Amino acid sequence: MGKFNDTVNELLGTVLPTPGTAEILISLASALLLCAVIWLTYRFSNTPASYEPKFAATLVSLALITTILMDLIQSNLALSLGMLGSLSIVRFRTNIRDPRDIGFIFWSMAIGLSASTGHYLIGLSGSLILSVCLLAYRKSSAALEDMLLVIRGSNTDISSIHSIVKDDCVKSMVKAKNILSDSYELVYQVQIPMEESDQMIRGLFDLTGVDSVNLLASQKIS
């Protein structure tokens, strides 16, 4: 048992050579270059409505922070374990809207690890492969975002409205129907390309009794 304790104490007290100034600058520069890859991938794998500039900036800063931390602690095993323990008590309660964002977070951390440990080929090749996969998935899915269509008016054949919405939209579903004695309000959840929405709106206004048509895009939460 005493020998085991001596071995552990020896390992904890092991101090590896501290990275030099040139090595630290190279690691930070490498992290910045790889950050350009992850930023471009995040930018073009999201639509303008789903792209979050703050999250993109966080990905870049996370990679640099990881690089700095690794440059600081990799020379001492005891310091590394202490840092790991301190980070384990941190709790993040920010909701992740897109499951892919979790992958981007781990990717950003991997960039920092590869840059700080000098495994530039692993970081670059892995980043390029991930970039191609995510961009290809975005192109192949090309999913339309859900939007809200609100139609208000009076004295209109509601079945005609249903028919126009169903024919012009890729997907439509009635979310609310408020019918009064002299007016009505219909709320749909629809998927429709923006370039085709004008044709649908003109068709709705051609119906007698349609007063207003509102097409609302999903709003981002900052």
Could you tell me which residue, 2 or 29, shows the higher pLDDT?
Answer: 29
**Which band of pLDDT confidence, cut at 50, 70 and 90, is reported for residue 124?**
very high
Sheet of 184-191, strands arranged across:
171-179, 184-191, 147-153, 210-217
Q: What percent of the chain has pLDDT over 70?
A: 75
> What would the mean pLDDT of 46-55 be, rounded to a whole number?
81
Query: Could you report the per-residue pLDDT of 57-116, keeping only the tens digit for each?
Result: 999 998 998 888 887 776 555 555 555 555 555 555 666 667 788 889 899 989 988 888
153-157 contact pairs (CB < 8 A, 24+) = 153/183, 153/184, 153/207, 153/209, 153/210, 153/211, 153/212, 154/182, 154/183, 154/184, 154/209, 154/211, 155/182, 155/208, 155/209, 156/184, 156/207, 156/208, 156/209, 156/210, 157/207
> What would the mean pLDDT of 162-175 be, rounded to a whole number?
87
pTM (two decimals): 0.58
> What would the mean pLDDT of 184-188 be, rounded to a whole number?
91
Q: Which two tokens stand for residue 162?
A: 């249903």
**Which band of pLDDT confidence, cut at 50, 70 and 90, is reported for residue 45?**
confident
Among the listed residues 146, 206, 215, the one whose alpha carbon sits nearest the alpha carbon of residue 186: 215
Residue 6, helix vs strand vs coil: helix
